[in-house]
Structure 1
């Protein structure tokens, strides 16, 4: 089974982005998302997604900024959903964090044609990891697929709200 099929099936991944390692799964798979929340000890905080395309963003979210300025790149855009119930199991409010990282793994997500959960690989409240070797075993042991490309920059993505950049 190839990685694209594993994405579509809802397997849980640790994967590289253009900033840090993330943990994620098919954003349409509620069961896998619940597993991620348990793994991260992250109860009801909203999650973000890696969009499969700019077109997907335009179809589902209200665009109030120049997407080409930020995507692909190390940004998480906080955009208003066209339908508040859209991906409610990911974010139960009217906003959704969306990314398109500038890295090779993003190409697999785009080929899978599904939105993909993206959250840092760490327990809630702990610093994000830059290397696979830094990931606690209590997380690693619950993951289906680990994509290791070596050390990453270690800086979380910059949050963009209404065109304002907020460093994290």
Structure 2
């Protein structure tokens, strides 16, 4: 079985993230979405458990995709799940440089791990989770940025939080 990992902090999962996950799901028998808390990212809007719930709702229609929280090293998560490929989306040269460095680090930890970089689809190149968080905070329409299945959840979670 060919297994891949898609990872991120997903604060929240966007249509761009979902596009990469769907494309990976078409290439692999099994895709694990690793929702990783990222202590270096400030101004997080959702808790790790909320992020996981949003990701699970977004990928519910993909039978070969499952999501889990994992606070450890991505390379270890991949090996624990029998994956030898990490799939990452890249929007620009900056993303490529960061992901290239991480690929080298991950192969240093587990030499059998490959990283596959998928260029962002043109319609999603311009947005990020931080931009979407601003749209959420200012109560802007979210249909262009988030999977339709999670918009009610996002609204509910942020209204409870007082955003």
TM-score by length of 2: 0.32
Instruction: Answer 1 or 2: higher relative contact order, Cα 8 Å, separation at least 6.
Output: 1
TM-score by length of 1: 0.31
More helix by share: 2
More strand by share: 1
Structure whose CA Rg is larger: 2
